[in-house]
Amino acid sequence: MATATLNKEVWINQIKENFYPETSFLNYVRDFSGLVENNAINMAEAGVDPKVLINNTTYPIKVVQRIDKPIRIELDTFETENTLVRRPEVIEYSYDQLESVLMGHRNTLRAKTAIKAAHAFAPQENTDYTPVIETTGEQFGGRKRMTIEDILLLKECFDNFDIPQEDRYLVLNPKHLSDLILFDVKAFKNILDIVNGVPQRFAGFNILQTSATPTYNATTKEKVAFDAPAAPDTDTFCSFAFHSQEVMKADGDLHMYVRYDDPEERGTIVGFDKRFIATSIRSKGIGAIVSAKV
C-alpha cells in the first residue's frame, strides 16, 4: 500500500505539471490561486476611485470613504468519469496503459476548464464596457468572415473607455484565424507564434487561439448559457478579448480517487476531482467579435 500511495502522489503531480500549455490563454490572466482557502476565495470588490481636482481653490477638500464590497467565490468542481484498467490488458500492452489513462484525464480536465473559462471571460451582452460586435466580411458558409476592420473596431471600443494598451489579448476562434490568413497570408500565417512566452501583436492585441470559444445568439448578440442545448438557427461562434488585469483564474484542490486491484473488475479504477474558477473581475475590459449569420 505504501507503493500505491507513492504512485498516487506521483500521478497527481503529473496531472498538475504543465496543466496550462504555453499557448493557453489562461497563462495570461491574473492568478488568484494563492488566495484560495478551502476551495473558495474571499476578496473585496473595490469601491469608487477618488476624483481628481484641478486648480482647486476650495478647502478643506471633501473626504469620501471608499466602501469595498466583500465577495466570496466558490471554486467549481470538475469531475472526470472513472476509468477502469484491467490487469490482463495492462500485461498485454507494451506501454503503460494506466499512465496513458491518467494523461487522458488531464487532457479532458484541461479542455473543460478552458471551455468554462472562455465562457466566463466573454461578455454577456453588448455594453459600453463590454463591447460585442459582429463580423462584416464576405459571406461564406452561412456567415460573414472576420476582417481587419472588425478587430480595429474592437480596439477602438477598448480605447474609448481607456482600457490600458498593455496586456490586451484577442483569443481567436480557428475559423476567424483562417479568415485573416485568407485575407493576408504574409501578415497572419505566423501570428500565433509565441517567442519567449510573448505572443505576437496585431492592432494592439496579443494574439492567441482556442477552439473553446463560447456561443452567442446571432440575433440578440447575447451569450448563450454554458452547456445550453444547441440551437442551430441562432447559435454562432465568436472570438473574445480581455485585458489581463480584468480577468482571473484560481486553482484549488486536485484529488485522485483510486481503487487498486478491484477483485470484481480485476483491475484498477481511477477518477479525478479538480477545483477551479475563472471569471471576469468587474465586467470591464472584455469584448467579443461574433460571427454574423447570413
133-152 burial: b if 16+ Cβ within 10 Å, else e: bbbebeeeeebbbbbbebbe
Q: Which residue has the higher pLDDT, 66 or 199?
A: 199
What Cα–Cα distance (Å) separates residue 239 from each residue in 61, 195, 249, 287? 46, 22, 19, 9
Domain containing 216 equals 1-37+77-294
How far is Cα 139 from Cα 161, in angstroms, rounded to an integer?
A: 31
Q: What is the average per-residue pLDDT within 59-84?
A: 90
Q: What is the average per-residue pLDDT within 188-196?
A: 89
pLDDT for res 1 = 46
pLDDT reading at 153 higher than 50 = yes
pLDDT for res 58 = 92
Quickly state the pLDDT bin for 196 (edges 50, 70, 90): confident
pLDDT for res 93 = 54
Computed over every residue of the chain, the mean pLDDT equals 91
* 88 located within any domain: yes
Nearest partner of 218 among 138, 141, 292, 277, judged by Cα: 292
* 113 located within any domain: yes
* 58 located within any domain: no
Quickly state the pLDDT bin for 218 (edges 50, 70, 90): very high
**pTM summary value:** 0.86
How far is Cα 103 from Cα 115, in angstroms, rounded to an integer?
A: 18
* 218 located within any domain: yes
* 272 located within any domain: yes
pLDDT reading at 87 higher than 60 = yes
Q: pLDDT tens digit string along 18-42?
A: 899 889 999 999 999 999 999 999 8
pLDDT for res 89 = 61
pLDDT for res 291 = 98
* 166 located within any domain: yes
Q: What percent of the chain has pLDDT over 90?
A: 70
pLDDT for res 234 = 97
pLDDT for res 40 = 96
Total domains, the chain: 1
* 230 located within any domain: yes
Q: What is the average per-residue pLDDT within 6-23?
A: 83
* 46 located within any domain: no
pLDDT reading at 106 higher than 70 = yes
CATH assignment of the domain containing 242? 3.90.1690
Say which range, 70-84, 212-226, 229-243, has the weakest mean pLDDT: 70-84
How far is Cα 130 from Cα 250, in angstroms, rounded to an integer?
A: 22
Q: How many CB atoms lie within 10 A of CB 246?
A: 21
Nearest partner of 143 among 238, 224, 229, judged by Cα: 238
Q: pLDDT tens digit string along 233-289?
A: 999 999 999 999 999 999 999 999 988 888 888 888 899 999 999 999 989 999 999
pLDDT reading at 75 higher than 90 = yes
Quickly state the pLDDT bin for 95 (edges 50, 70, 90): low
pLDDT reading at 96 higher than 80 = no
pLDDT for res 233 = 96
